[in-house]
A and B are shown apart, each in its own frame.
Chain A
Amino acid sequence: MSNQQPAAGIGMGPRSPISAYFHHHRQAARVSYGKLLQAPVSNFLTILVIGVALALPHLGISIATAVQGQIEQLDSPPQLSLLLDREVTFKEAERIRDQVLRKPGIAEVKLVDREAALADFTAATGLESLVQRMNSNPLPHSLWVYPKANVRTAGLEQLQIDLAALNGVSQVILDSRWLKRLNAFTDLLRTTGYVLFFVMALGVVLTLGNTLRLGIEARRDEIVVIKLIGGGNAFARRPFLYTGLFTGALGGVMASLLSGFALMALNAPVNRLFELYDQVPAVPSLVPSDLLLLILMGAVLGLISAWYSAQLHLTRIQPR
């Protein structure tokens, strides 16, 4: 052993508290990064779980938003069919047509003569012999009403009520059920996406929290020593917070990749769906803001998991 005097009083002493605080953060970040690289497989699996948990709700919300955006842009609102009373003559039908045309929000009204309708029916169905056996034409005169493009679902429903109140009108059929269904479906998809997000977020917090708990247990000896030689809970907690932050953020990157690939795969079916409605498809794709949002969400969830886990387990570890 050396005969020198003890190593007391060497150097300039500790940094200022603020400088030490930032130095500890840099150090904790470096240590956490190193620990992530030390166990690449298990950490990759954790990141994959977070990625899937974030990608699923993101996909649902993205598709619902894109589809609803398309619905909003539908050029031709649905048509209303007015079936007139069977006693209404063609002349009276023309009068009702003029009456309807004067109403606000109506772009065009087409009068369909009941004889022409029967001829169309016969041609379309091939039931000529059956039609010939009938004593009279069972079809009424009818009006096809085309509302203006700016009339939306609520306006259409009011229009339906107004038209049904006209004299000589037997029934008004609003051909918008498909639109309502699609709207309801996309609403459901979006709501499911949000619910899924909260459930998955809770899953991420619990999964990552448990992974970090195992990390805390594995480093119990180190934590005990740190506490014995003057390191507080904050010092011991910091590396775990960075581990949570990095794992969560990488989970966000993973979610972006998974979402991006899934949206590419969904491109063709979504295109086909909108082509059915003569729409120019606007297939959802991963935009930079989504990428940032997923990474941010992952990082925040990771940080929350780490905080919750550290609060729960780290404070229980005390020197004996």
Chain B
Amino acid sequence: MDVVFNRVGKRFGQRDALADLSFELQSGEMAFLTGRSGAGKSTLLRLLLLLERASSGDIAVGGTPLSKIKPSGIARYRRDFGVVFQDHQLLSDRSVYHNVALPLEIAGFTQRDIDRRVRAALDKVGLLDRERANPDTLSGGEQQRVGIARAVVARPKILIADEPTGNLDPQLSAEIMGLFSAFNSVGVTVIVASHDLALISRMSHRILTLDKGSLITVGDLQRGQH
């Protein structure tokens, strides 16, 4: 599913969080959003998830202008996304299994399908043996992997991660990034916001660098274009 930003701006009061932002991501592409804190990475992702509406410009996802999506259609629109959060956002009153199953329950999958998909997703992130555990009993890295399993279990068209390695050590961070690459390799569009330049430099994917709400570089590390 392709993503097109065309001269997008977002204003909070007198402050421009994003200004005149234009770029295009092809379907199945993986991109990193970088920049300092406050550069506008999270705002961009929030616009994409329709948590905010753009103040100016147009955003289109899969050819659909987001300005055409009514409030009643937002929930259905978000089902095309898998979202990974820095703080995991796991529900502590449910087991790992039921956290991962939540998007499938919302989408109305059968119990048999839920079982198969949840176990496959947990297996992929290496947590199949922890399916009955409470998320609070897991380490930070394990919690993040549960969050990733939940994000991908319903087979999203776009996977979004906001600082997914923010609280993890370098080795775990590299493992998490490896998982994103693996999902991208089966055709999922992946957008990862991170300010960890050292980590990003080891990945061979497209980079969008933001500074004070403006896009300052669009590059491809694999091709050495900066």
Which A residues lie at the B interface, using CB under 8 A? 1-2, 4-15, 17, 19-21, 23-24, 27, 221-222, 224-233, 235, 318-320
Contact = CB atoms under 8 A, between A and B. Distances in A.
B76 interface: yes
Contacts of B83: 228-229
6 contacts: A5-B186, A8-B152, A8-B155, A225-B102, A227-B78, A232-B72
A27 to B, nearest CB: 7
A235 B120 contact: no
A231 to B, nearest CB: 4
A6 B91 contact: no
Interface residues of B, number: 46
Q: Which 8 A-B pairs have the closest CB atoms?
A: A20-B108, A232-B75, A230-B79, A11-B113, A1-B126, A7-B120, A7-B121, A230-B78
Contact of A230 (B93, B106, B155, B186): B106
B7 interface: no
Interface stretch (B10-18, B33-41, B175-183): B175-183
What secondary structure prevails in chain B residues at the interface with A? helix
What secondary structure prevails in chain A residues at the interface with B? loop
B113 A226 contact: no
A225 B91 contact: yes
A50 B120 CA distance: 47
B199 interface: no
A247 to B, nearest CB: 20
A229 B102 contact: yes
Interface in B57-115: 72, 74-76, 78-79, 81-83, 89, 91, 93, 102-103, 105-110, 112-113
Given A6-B152, A228-B49, A1 B109 contact: no
Which of A6, A17, A318 has the most chain B CB within a 10 Å cutoff? A6
Contact of B106 (A9, A221, A229): A229
A7 B106 contact: no
Nearest to A6: B183
B103 to A, nearest CB: 5
